[in-house]
Structure 1
Amino acid sequence: MKYSVLQKKIIALTFLQVTVSAAFLNANAENTAADRLANKKLLVAGYNLADIIITGKVTDEKTKSPIPGVTVKVKDSQTIAVTDENGVYKITVPNEQAILSFNYVGYDVQEKQVGSLKNINIILKSAQANLEEVVVVGYGTQKKADVTGSVVRANLDDFRNAPTTNVANLLQGTVPGLNVGQVNRAGATPGISIRGQNTLGGNQNVLIILDGVQYNGSLTSINPDDIASIDVLKDASATAVYGAQAANGVLLITSRKGTVGRTRISFSTQYATQKPNIDLRPMARDEYLDHIKYLYYDQAFLAPDFTQPNPAFDLISKVDPSMKDAQGNLLPNDFSWYDEATKRGSIVDNQLSVSGGTDKINYLLSGSLTRNSGFIENDNFKRKSIRANIETKATNWLTIGLQSFGTFVNEDGVEPNFTDINLMSPLILPWDNSGNLKINPFGTNLTNPLLSYQADDYDRHNYFFANVYGNVQLPIKGLSYKISFGNNYRLDFKNISNMYDANLTGQASKETTTYYDYTFDNLLTYNKTIGKHSFTGTLLYGAIERENSYTRAYSTGFSRLTLGYDNLQQGTNRFAISNAWKESLNYQMFRLNYNYESKYLFTGTIRRDGFSGFAENNKYGIFPSVSVGWDISKESFFKVNWVDNLKLRVGYGVAGNQTSRYSSLANVGVSAAYVFGDGGSTQFGQQVNGMANPDLRWERTTGANIGLEFTLLKNRLSGTVEYYNTKTTDLLYSVNIPVITGFSNVLTNIGQLNNQGVEFSLNSKNINSGGFQWNTSLNFARNANKIVKLLGDLNGDGVEDDLPQSGLFIGQPTAVIYDYQVNGIWQVGEQIPTGYSPGTYRIVDQNGDGVINASDRAILGSSAPAYRLSLLNNFQYKNFTLSIFLNSIQGGKNSYLAGNTPRIIRDDNAIRNNYLSGIDYWSPDNPNGKYPRSIVSATLNPPLFQNRSFVRLQDVSLSYKFTGKLIERMKLQNLNVFVSGRNLATWTNWEGWDPETNQGLTNDGRPVFKGYAVGLNVTF
C-alpha cells in the first residue's frame, strides 16, 4: 500500500525506539568512574549539623553479592547518592522521618524509613521475581515460571484512566493475538477474537470466565474498576481445561478481593468528553444544490464534452417540490439536521469501594455510577452496580466465599435514525410553521427521523451474578476439594410507545426477556512433592444449564396513547409473541502438572464434553492436550551471563467446537398454512423448515504451539516469541441441497481449515536513573488461515471443488474477497460497452472474451489484516507518570481490504436525498474523480476496494501522585490526579468514518469517539 508521509514517520519511530532501546540495553548498567567521583564530591560537602548521616550496603537477594551503582535517594528531595563497587553508600537525611528509596535497573524499588537507624543495609529483590507472579490458568493458578501453555496477563494498569465504560476497550492492542475492535455507541461492547478464525459455521465467540464461572452476559455489565486481572488463554494446551467451550480462546476475568491490613476506602471520579474522531457530515445548501446540478450534467453543461455551463439550464425545476415555496421558489433554509440530532458526548464515572481483611476473613464492597451520553441524541447508557466479595477461613480446613454483583443498565430513549439524518435536505426544516414536527418532510414515505423523540421508551437490563464456593482441605495431606455454584440471571425490559409508529397509527409494546444459567463444579486437587519432583493432579466434574424465555405483547391502531405501553388494550389490533429455549452441558476433566525444580515442566489434560445441541449419536466429544516446558537458563551447561531466563514451551492438543442449540434436529416453523372453504379465514399451521442430521459431529481443531520466553541483561529486556499452527476438521457448515428434498440446506460436517500465526512481545527498561524511568512495550501479531478441503471432488475431475457462491475457495483464506476488479471510470466520448455509461466503473475483462459477466470475478485480496502492531511508552519522573500508546493494524498490499464506494445514480431518491460532504465524485469536468456518478445504473456496479491500514494514537495518560506532608495531614494512603485521551489521532488512507469499524463514505456509518478525561483517585 502507499503510506502517507506521517504514517512512514510513525512506523519509522516504532523501529527507531526499538533500536534506541537496544542501545540502552547494551550500555554499561554501572555508573562511570566520573559519576562515582562526582557523587563522592557531593558526599564530602559540608553537612548541616542537624542532618543525619546514613551509611549502609546494598546486596542481591539471591547471590548476596554487593550491587554497585544503586541510586539511593531521599524522597521528596534532590539528595542522591550511589553505591560504590562494594555496594556501600553514604547519604545525609534531614530527619528521622526521611524515607530512602533504593533504585537499580533489574530490581524492584525498595523504600525504607530512617527512624533511629544510622546504618541501613538493603537486600534488593530481582525484578525477575515477576516470574513468581501467579496467573490464573483455569480451575486453579500457577506461577508464571511454571506455565507451559500460552497464557498472557493483560496490562490493565496503564489504561485504567482511559475514558471508556467497557473493560474490553482497555484490552485493545495490549496482548498479541487478542483482537479487540472499536465501538461507536454509548456503552457498547467491541468485537473480541483470539488468534483468528478456526471455523466456518461453528461458534466463534471467545469464552468469558468470570471468577471461575462461565459468563454469557454482556461485558457492559461488569464494572471495570472491580477487575483485578484478565488472563488470556490462547493455545489448545491452555484452553483444554474448558474443552469445546474454549475453541476460540478464553478471557479469565478475576475480580478484586480485600487484603489483610487496615481498611481501605477508595474513591475515584472521572469526567470525559466524547466527539467524533472525524468531521464527516452531510452537504450544506450550496454543495447540495451543486450535487443536483451535476446529476443533470447532460443538461446543465453543453455537449459534447459537458464541461461548459449551459446558461439555459433551470436548476430550480429539477429540485424536489418539497424544497420549494408556494410560488415555486427554493426555500431559503440551510438547516443542519446533523447538528440538530447530535451533541458533544460525555462520560461521568464515580467509583467507591471499601476493602480489608484479617488472617480469617477478607472482604470488598464496591459501588459505581456511570453515565455515558453519546454524540447522537438519545444514545444513552447509564449503569449502576454493586459488588460484594467475601471470603472467610471458617476453620483450619474449610474456606468459604461469595463473589457477587448486581448491575442495572438504563438505555432509555430512541435515537434518531442516523442514516435518515444524513439523507435529509438542508433546504427543509423538521418543523412546520406551527412548530410541530413534519411527519414526511419529503412528501414521501420517509418519515422525519426526529419523530423518535416522541417515543416513550423504557429500556432496562438487570444483571445478577453470584458464585458461592467452599474449599475443603481433606484429611489426606495435599488433597483438597472445591465445590462452587455460579449463577447468572438477567432481566431485560423493553417497553415503548410512539404515536408515529405502525404506519402513523400508533404502536405500543412490552417485551420481557429472562435468562438464567448455573454452573456447578466439583474440583478435586492433589499436590505432592517428592524431593525435587512436584505433582499436581486436578479432577473436575461439572454441569451447566441455560434457559431463556421471551414474551412480547403489542398493539397498533391507537386513537390516543395517553397511557402508552401501560394500556395495550386501547389499541385496535392486539398481538402476542413468545418463545423459549433451554440447553445443557456436562463435562469431566483431568489435568496433571509435573515440575522438576521449575526446570522441566509437563502438563497433560483430557476433557470430555457433552452438549444437548448435538445429534443423538454424537452428544460427547473427548479432547486431549499435552504441553512441556524447559527452563534452559537453569541448566548447569548454560553459562550465558547476559541471559537471566530462557524458557522453551511446546504444546499440542485437540479442541472442539459446538454447534448452536437444536441445529441437529428438524426445525418446525409456524406460518399461515390453511384456508378452509371459499372466503374462509387463514389458519396457522406448523411446517418442518430444517432437515435433521443425526450424525452431526463436533468440530475438531488440532493445534501445536511453540513459545520462547526470555529475560536478558538483568531484566532490562524481556519478551516472548510464539508460533502456532492449527488444523480444524469436521467443520460445521450449512450445505445447500437439492430442493426436491423439501429443504434448501442442512447443517453438516465438511472440509478442513488451517490457521497459523506468529506473535511477538518485547518489554524494555530503557532508562532507570535519577528518578526517571522509561519503559517500552512492543507487541506484534500475524495470523492467516487457509481452506484446505470443502465438499470434496463434486465434478469427478480429481480436483477439490470451491464454493464460489459462498466465497469459499481451496487454498484461500476465509476472508477472501471474490469480486469484479475495477479499472477506472468510463469517460465521456469513450467507446462504452452496452449496459454502461459515463461515470460508471470500468470492469476488467478477466477472461478476455469481450463480455463482462460472473466469469470475470476474481480473487482480489483478503479482508483480514496482514499484521497488528502496538507500542506503549511509559515515562515516570518523580511523581509524574506519562503513558503513550500507539496501536496499528496493517494490510500490506492485498490484505485488510473492504468495499468503500459511495455511488450516485440519477433517480428520484438521488435527486432528493442528501449525501456526505466532500466526496470526490466523477463528473465530465472532474474526469479523475474517484467515485462513480452516472445518469443511469450500470449492468454491474462493483465496489471499489480500499486498504483499511491505520496507525492510531489510541491512549495517552498523564498522572500525578501526591506524596509527603499533604498526604500525611489528610491521613490518606493515596492521592492521584490524571488527565487522559483516547483515539486522539488516526493516520490512514481509508476514506470515511473509520477503518477499524469498516465504515466508509456511507450515510449509514457512525464515527468512533475521540475523548478527553480528567479524574481523581483517592484512598483513605
Structure 2
Amino acid sequence: HKFGFFPTVSAGWTVSNESFWKDAKKLVPYLKLKASYGQVGNSSGVDAFYYRGRMWPQNDVYITGVNMGTKLGGYIQDILPNPGLTWEKARILNIGIDTRLFSDRLSVTAEFFKDNRHDMYVVNNKISSLVGNVKEFKQNIGKINSHGVDLSAMWNSTIADWSYFIGGTFSYSTNELIANGEVDQPYEWLKNQGRPLGENRGYIAKGFFNSWEEIAASPVQTFSDVQPGDVRYEDINKDGQIDVNDMVPIGYGDIPKIMYGINLGVGYKGFSITALFQGAAKVSHQYSDIVMNPFTDNGTIFEHQLDYWTPEHQNAAFPRLTTLDNANLNNRQISTLNVEDADFLRLKTLEVSYDFPAKMIQKIHLKGLRLFLSGTNLITWTKYKWVDPEAPSLAAPLTRNMSIGCSLKF
C-alpha cells in the first residue's frame, strides 16, 4: 500500500482585531486563537520490499542418507510476505493561544498537543519462529498516544533609568504505549504496553550481602556466583530466585518529561546583567560501567568509587572490588543502584557588560565600545552525581568556561 492520503486543516482567529474587542485593547492589545488537526505519514523506517517475501539459498539445509551424512543445499523462507505493508501514521491535534497584555509588556504563548500514532512498523513477537521464517516478522501494528503542553512567556519593562526582563519556557510531554506486538507476559510489571515508551526497567537493589549466612537465607541470584559484598536484589514474584521475571519499571525514561528555561536581565544606563537557566525534570539515567565499576576496560579507579564494600565498611555505596569480570555479572545488572533521577537546574550562561556612552568614545573615532565578562555552565544543581546529566554516556566532566572581551564599532 504505497500511496497514502494525509489531509490537514488549520485555522486562526485574531480576536483582538474584532470591533467588539475595542474596549479591551488597553488591557489585552493582542489575542489570537489557533488550532490545527490532521494526519501525517512516515515511511522512512518501513522496509521497501517486505510485502513480497523472499526465499534465500542456503548450504547444508537438508540432511539425509543412511547415516544422515549427506547434506544438501536448498532454499529457506528468509522473509515472510506481508501484503498489508503500509505507512506509519499519526493524527495530530494542536490548540494554542498567543496574547500580549499590559501595554505589550507581557507576551504569552500556550499550546496543547495530542499525537496519536498508529500503524507503526514493529516486530510482531506473537508470530512464532516455528513458522519457518529467519527474519523477524514486522507489521503495522504499533500504537502510541502522547500529549503535552508548551508554554512561553516574557515580561519587559522599564523604571526610570532601569530596564529589566524576565522570561521562561516550559514544556511537558508524556506518552503511553498502546500496542507493540509484544508477547503475553506472566506478570503485569513485565508488560511494556500501558507504560511510557523508553521507561527504565531493572531490579530493586536491597544493599549488599554482608555474610555467607545472608546469602544462604536469600533467594538464589542467577547471574553469577555471589559472595559477601555483592549486590542483593528483591525477589518480586516470590519464586525463590532472581531472574528476568523480577525486573520492574524504575524511575523515568532517558528523555525528560519536563524541560524548562528561565531568562533574566537587568540594565542600568550602560550596565547590564543577563542570565539563562536551563532545567529538566522527570528523567532518569543509568550510570555507565566506567562510572560504576572500577578498572573498567583496563581503566582506573575514580575517587567516588573508593567507597566500596569491605567487611569493615558494610555501609558502602559500591559493591566489593574484584578483578574478575565474570564475578561482576551479578553486580552489573541494571538496578536502582545504577539508575538515578537526573533532574537538574543549570546556570547555563551569565554575562555582565558595559556599553560606553557615544559621547565618551567619539573622541577616539568609535561608534560603539562594549566590555563584557561571561561564563558558561557555571553551576549545576542535581542529584545525578559524577557525570553531566545532559550527557550521561560521556565520562568526561562538563567544561566550565569563562571569558572576557570587548567589541568595537567603527
Matched, 1:657 2:42: yes
Decide whether the 8 Å contact of 2:6 with 2:38 is kept in 1. Answer: yes
- Secondary structure of 2:400 counterpart: strand
Q: 2:286 corresponds to which residue?
A: 898
Q: 2:63 corresponds to which residue?
A: none
Decide whether the 8 Å contact of 2:274 with 2:350 is kept in 1. Answer: yes
**Aligned counterpart for 2:229 among listed residues 827, 839, 846:** 839
CA-based RMSD: 3.4
Q: 2:121 corresponds to which residue?
A: 732
Residues 731-787 of structure 1 show CA distances to partners (whole Å, capped at 9, x for unaligned) of 12244551653423144312210111112112112x402221110011111111111
Matched, 1:979 2:341: no
Matched, 1:816 2:203: no
**Aligned counterpart for 1:778 among listed residues 145, 153, 168:** 168
Q: 1:745 corresponds to which residue?
A: 136
* Letter paired with 2:7: P
Decide whether the 8 Å contact of 1:903 with 1:933 is kept in 2. Answer: no
Decide whether the 8 Å contact of 2:358 with 2:368 is kept in 1. Answer: no
Q: 2:345 corresponds to which residue?
A: 951
Q: 1:916 corresponds to which residue?
A: 302
Decide whether the 8 Å contact of 2:79 with 2:133 is kept in 1. Answer: no
Residues 396-445 of structure 1 show CA distances to partners (whole Å, capped at 9, x for unaligned) of xxxxxxxxxxxxxxxxxxxxxxxxxxxxxxxxxxxxxxxxxxxxxxxxxx
Counterpart CA distance in 2 for 1:808 and 1:829 is 35
* Letter paired with 1:701: A
Counterpart CA distance in 1 for 2:297 and 2:363 is 70
Decide whether the 8 Å contact of 2:231 with 2:330 is kept in 1. Answer: no
Residues 581-640 of structure 1 show CA distances to partners (whole Å, capped at 9, x for unaligned) of xxxxxxxxxxxxxxxxxxxxxxxxxxxxxxxxxxxx41x333221122222334444444
Q: 1:933 corresponds to which residue?
A: 320
- Secondary structure of 1:831 counterpart: helix
1:134-145, aligned counterparts within 5 Å?
Answer: none
- Secondary structure of 2:354 counterpart: strand
Counterpart CA distance in 1 for 2:391 and 2:315 is 28
Kindly tell me the number of residue pairs found equivalent between the two proteins: 370
Q: TM-score scaled by structure 2?
A: 0.78
Residues 301-355 of structure 1 show CA distances to partners (whole Å, capped at 9, x for unaligned) of xxxxxxxxxxxxxxxxxxxxxxxxxxxxxxxxxxxxxxxxxxxxxxxxxxxxxxx
Q: TM-score scaled by structure 1?
A: 0.34
Decide whether the 8 Å contact of 2:200 with 2:284 is kept in 1. Answer: no
Decide whether the 8 Å contact of 1:822 with 1:942 is kept in 2. Answer: no
**Aligned counterpart for 1:849 among listed residues 234, 239, 243:** 239
Distance 1:739 1:915, change over 3 A: farther
Decide whether the 8 Å contact of 2:251 with 2:340 is kept in 1. Answer: no
Decide whether the 8 Å contact of 2:122 with 2:180 is kept in 1. Answer: no
- Secondary structure of 2:241 counterpart: coil
Counterpart CA distance in 2 for 1:706 and 1:971 is 53
Residues 481-526 of structure 1 show CA distances to partners (whole Å, capped at 9, x for unaligned) of xxxxxxxxxxxxxxxxxxxxxxxxxxxxxxxxxxxxxxxxxxxxxx
Q: 1:645 corresponds to which residue?
A: 30
* Letter paired with 2:304: G
- Gap runs ≥5 in structure 1: 1-616, 675-686, 795-800
Distance 1:802 1:828, change over 3 A: closer
Distance 1:939 1:874, change over 3 A: closer
Greater Rg by CA: 1
- Gap runs ≥5 in structure 2: 61-75
Decide whether the 8 Å contact of 2:32 with 2:99 is kept in 1. Answer: yes
* Letter paired with 1:924: P
Distance 1:693 1:973, change over 3 A: farther
1:602-751, aligned counterparts within 5 Å?
Answer: 617-618=1-2, 620-638=3-21, 639-640=23-24, 641-660=26-45, 663-664=48-49, 693=82, 695-736=84-125, 738=129, 741-751=132-142
Decide whether the 8 Å contact of 2:230 with 2:330 is kept in 1. Answer: no
Counterpart CA distance in 2 for 1:1005 and 1:940 is 20
Matched, 1:860 2:243: no
Counterpart CA distance in 2 for 1:803 and 1:634 is 60
- Secondary structure of 1:992 counterpart: coil
Per the TM alignment, residue 910 of structure 1 is displaced from its structure 2 partner at its CA by 7.3
Decide whether the 8 Å contact of 1:768 with 1:774 is kept in 2. Answer: yes
* Letter paired with 1:930: A
Distance 1:756 1:828, change over 3 A: same
Decide whether the 8 Å contact of 1:903 with 1:932 is kept in 2. Answer: no
Counterpart CA distance in 1 for 2:167 and 2:228 is 52
Decide whether the 8 Å contact of 1:896 with 1:949 is kept in 2. Answer: yes
- Secondary structure of 1:633 counterpart: helix
Q: 1:761 corresponds to which residue?
A: 152
Q: 1:887 corresponds to which residue?
A: 278
Distance 1:923 1:992, change over 3 A: same
Matched, 1:994 2:379: no
Q: 2:209 corresponds to which residue?
A: 826
Q: 1:239 corresponds to which residue?
A: none
* Letter paired with 2:343: S
Residues 691-748 of structure 1 show CA distances to partners (whole Å, capped at 9, x for unaligned) of 6655432211101111122211112222112111110011122445516534231443
Residues 831-863 of structure 1 show CA distances to partners (whole Å, capped at 9, x for unaligned) of 214543211212111112222222111122321
Counterpart CA distance in 1 for 2:406 and 2:229 is 57
Decide whether the 8 Å contact of 1:808 with 1:814 is kept in 2. Answer: no
Matched, 1:877 2:268: yes
Distance 1:689 1:914, change over 3 A: farther
Distance 1:849 1:644, change over 3 A: same
Counterpart CA distance in 2 for 1:900 and 1:856 is 22
Per the TM alignment, residue 915 of structure 1 is displaced from its structure 2 partner at its CA by 1.7
Counterpart CA distance in 1 for 2:293 and 2:372 is 48
- Secondary structure of 2:245 counterpart: helix
- Secondary structure of 2:34 counterpart: strand
Counterpart CA distance in 2 for 1:646 and 1:778 is 19
Distance 1:837 1:904, change over 3 A: farther
Distance 1:651 1:923, change over 3 A: same
Decide whether the 8 Å contact of 1:659 with 1:732 is kept in 2. Answer: no
- Secondary structure of 2:6 counterpart: strand
Decide whether the 8 Å contact of 1:700 with 1:730 is kept in 2. Answer: yes
Q: Percent identity, aligned pairs only?
A: 27
